[in-house]
Amino acid sequence: MTQLSERRNVRQALEGLALFQDVFDDPIGRAVRGLVAEPTYNSAARLVALLAEEAELYPEQMVGDAWQNHLLDRVLASQNAFSRKAERDGPSSIGEGLRRQVLRELRMLQDIYSQGGKALALEAYSVLGDNSGAAWSDFQPLGRGPALHRAEAVAFKQTLSTSSDWPGLIDQLATIYATVGTGDFARYRAFRWVRDGAKSRLQGVAYPDPIRLENLFGYERERDPIIRNAERFAAGLPGNNALIYGERGTGKSSTVKALLNAFEDRGLRMIEMAKEDLGDFPEIADIVRERRERFVVFVDDLSFDEHETYYKALKVALEGSIEARPENLVFYATSNRRHLVQEHFSDRQSDDGDVHSFESWDEKLSLSDRFGIRVWFGAPDQDRFLQIVDGIAGRQPNLRLSHDELQRRALLWAEQNNGRSGRTARQFMDALVGELALP
């Protein structure tokens, strides 16, 4: 078979995909389509550069060569009628018409996997002037970093790589979708809501904060209702929106982020968004509404100046829209203010023309009432501050310092720096460990 006919076969297979089109709707997939349509220097160079970057920086051991590993990852991440139905209701729910189409496309994908990669490598490297037979197997993955897949997905990649009958694995593929999920929700546990031009989207966070509840000290009583609420919510029970307010540096944000690490294995996921984007809350609700995971939308350091109107969007998001909030979504916020919106004494009696000024003021105060859980984190007194220092110090195995000296230096640090707080205690300990390590 000539190189031209091999390229045509790849193109025909690509054009035959309907459900799994998104497998090639990424930078590497679009580079493949470009090379197949018109093998120019630019299309060849782009494909080689993208595959080389992905393969060399890949955090796990690859299955197959760079192209095959990429294709397997894209199949597992595909979001289509088959994968979403399987994820939601398992293999037995797949209709016969949908099943027939999946069987056809799995044959095409297997051809692209087994023969297409070789054809693409020959085409790309020959266009670049390399006729030595360079292949996609000549790359070495980095092999470390955040895991991309759960063990079940990695095992199924191995199964696909050695199988001569991908259509025969249709039920196993459906089970994988049902077990580990689809798309970015199968890969990431933390997300941020970002603006991309005129559009907004969820962006996966590869390195979420690793803080854990057992590494937070001194506010056990305050954290208890927050943790119990998240635990019940992760278990599939109703959960309350939560507002954590109080002094700076007391561990409000760390408490929320630690919930993700505590309950991620129970399906808890977290979406961070800015207060300026609160008007997009309905979009997030639409994205997560039918998913099986449980989502905490998190806004950090939430407060509003008197001229800002974002708080109106938050009121609607929490409670007040004609559309019901998804049962798998709750809202957590941290703030330095209990009432969130800046207040003035003049709000209570206004001469600015608002004849119902008290009602306007009450509207601002009612915002915090829409949180079912409200917890105050106050600045620590000296005893609590030293308790936090002792807790952090207990996690340092090689700290060669007497207890009295540790506390003396901690109080001196707080006096000379930012006052007593959990953040100050952490900063003191970081500085102390560095000092003792480099005398």
3-state secondary structure of 309: coil
Neighbours of 305 (CB within 10 A): 9
Q: Say what the pLDDT of residue 9 is.
A: 75
Q: Which of 241-245, 323-327, 344-348 has the highest mean pLDDT?
A: 241-245
Number of H helices, E strands in the chain: 18, 7
What is the rounded CA–CA span in Å between residue 37 and residue 34? 5
Confidence band for 344, pLDDT divided at 50, 70 and 90:
very low
> Which residue, 312, 320, 237, is CA-closest to 278?
312
206 vs 256: which has the higher pLDDT:
256
Q: Say what the pLDDT of residue 425 is.
A: 92
pLDDT digits (tens, 9 = 90+) for 184-235: 888 899 999 998 777 889 999 988 999 999 999 989 999 999 999 999 999 9
Q: Say what the pLDDT of residue 307 is.
A: 62
Burial 310-339 (b: 16+ CB within 10 A, else e): bbebbbbbbeeeeeebbebbbbbbbbeeeb
> Which residue, 34, 104, 120, 36, is CA-closest to 70?
120
Q: Which residues contact 79 (CB under 8 A, 6 or more apart)?
A: 22, 182, 183
pLDDT at residue 346 above 50? no
117 vs 53: which has the higher pLDDT:
53
Return the DSSP state at 196. E
Q: Say what the pLDDT of residue 3 is.
A: 52
Q: Which of 249-253, 348-352, 368-372 has the highest mean pLDDT?
A: 249-253
Average pLDDT over residues 270-298: 91
Residue 277 near residue 200, CB atoms below 8 Å: yes
pLDDT at residue 415 above 50? yes
pLDDT digits (tens, 9 = 90+) for 9-40: 788 888 889 999 999 999 999 999 999 988 99
pLDDT digits (tens, 9 = 90+) for 67-125: 999 999 999 999 999 999 998 888 889 999 999 999 999 999 999 998 888 889 999 99
pLDDT at residue 171 above 90? yes
pLDDT at residue 1 above 60? no
Q: Which residues contact 35 (CB under 8 A, 6 or more apart)?
A: 43, 44, 47, 120, 123, 124, 127
360 vs 12: which has the higher pLDDT:
12
Structure tokens at 130: 């390399």
Question: What percentage of the chain carries pLDDT values higher than 70?
Answer: 88
Distance (Å) of CA 121 to CA 12, 52, 56, 127, 129 = 17, 12, 17, 10, 12
Helix boundaries (H) for 238-302: 252-263, 281-288
Q: Say what the pLDDT of residue 169 is.
A: 97
> Which residue, 261, 244, 250, 248, is CA-closest to 334?
244
Confidence band for 339, pLDDT divided at 50, 70 and 90:
low
pLDDT at residue 428 above 70? yes
Confidence band for 356, pLDDT divided at 50, 70 and 90:
very low
Own/partner long-range contacts of 80-83 (Cβ < 8 Å, ≥24 apart):
80/19, 80/20, 80/21, 80/22, 81/19, 82/19, 82/174, 82/177, 83/177, 83/182
Q: Which one-letter amino acid corresponds to residue 369?
A: D
Confidence band for 343, pLDDT divided at 50, 70 and 90:
low
Region for 353 from its dihedrals, namely left if φ exceeds 0, alpha if ψ lies in -120 to 50, beta otherwise = left
Q: Please, what is the average pLDDT of the chain?
A: 87
Give 3-49 as a DSSP string: HHHHHHHHHHHHHT-STTGGGG-SHHHHHHHHHHH---HHHHHHHHH
Confidence band for 404, pLDDT divided at 50, 70 and 90:
very high
Residue 313 near residue 345, CB atoms below 8 Å: no
Residue 121 near residue 128, CB atoms below 8 Å: no
Give 69-138 as a DSSP string: HHHHHHHHH--SHHHHHHHHH-GGG--HHHHHHHHHHHHHHHHIIIIIHHHHHHHHHHHTT--S---TT-
Q: Say what the pLDDT of residue 345 is.
A: 41
Q: Say what the pLDDT of residue 57 is.
A: 95
Return the DSSP state at 329. E
Q: Say what the pLDDT of residue 177 is.
A: 93
